[in-house]
Amino acid sequence: MSHQNIAIDQNNNSSKRKDSDQKSIFVSNISLEITPEVIDELFRNCGDIQRITILYDKNTHSNKGGHAYVEFDSVRSKENALELNGIIHEGRKLIIRPKRTNIPRFQRVNSKYLTDELQ
């Protein structure tokens, strides 16, 4: 495989990830015992859910940090979910934000590394 094909594949993956992120939310301050089924119940009225991601600690098998990601089928569904920011669930005030797109460190623009031509 040539280097050019690898770059094209990376661009396609980046585009898919960005599209997915535009339809996703980040939920924090959730119970460490929460399940995907409970998250589905919380956000089901916002729109069709495509994926729920909860990060688990591989040693304890518990929710790692009390956060989850929810991907919807549309940006409108995501916007509906964002309106739930601050709701109380199991005695906890949920923080609901748009999911940000992670940019690999080597692709980030850092002004101290920019050349004069790019600034």
Range of the domain at 72: 23-99
Contact 87, 46 (CB under 8 A): no
In a domain, 68, yes or no: yes
Mean pLDDT for the stretch of residues 60-88: 92
Residue 91 within a domain = yes
Amino acid at site 109: V
Domain for residue 6, yes or no?
Answer: no
The answer to whether the CB of 83 falls within 8 A of the CB of 36 is: no
Q: Which carries the bigger pLDDT value, residue 63 or residue 21? A: 21
* Number of domains the chain contains: 1
On whether the CB atoms of residues 77 and 47 are closer than 8 A, the answer is yes
Closest Cα to residue 22, out of 66, 79, 68? 79
0.85 exceeded by the pTM? no
Whether 83 maps to a domain, the answer reads yes
Looking at 2-6, 9-13, 50-54, which range is the least confident one? 2-6
The token pair that represents 90 in the structure block: 């199991």
Q: Residue 78: what pLDDT?
A: 97
The pLDDT, as a whole number, for residue 110 is: 56
pLDDT of residue 4: 38
The rounded percent of the chain whose pLDDT value lies above 70 is 71
Cα–Cα distance measured from residue 116 to residue 119, given in angstroms and rounded to the nearest whole number: 5
Alpha-carbon separation of residue 112 from 71, 102, 103, 119 (angstroms): 35, 20, 18, 10
Predicted confidence at residue 21, as pLDDT, reads 86
- Return the CATH number at 78: 3.30.70.330
Residue 70 resides in a domain: yes
Question: Tell me, what's the pLDDT at 13?
Answer: 59
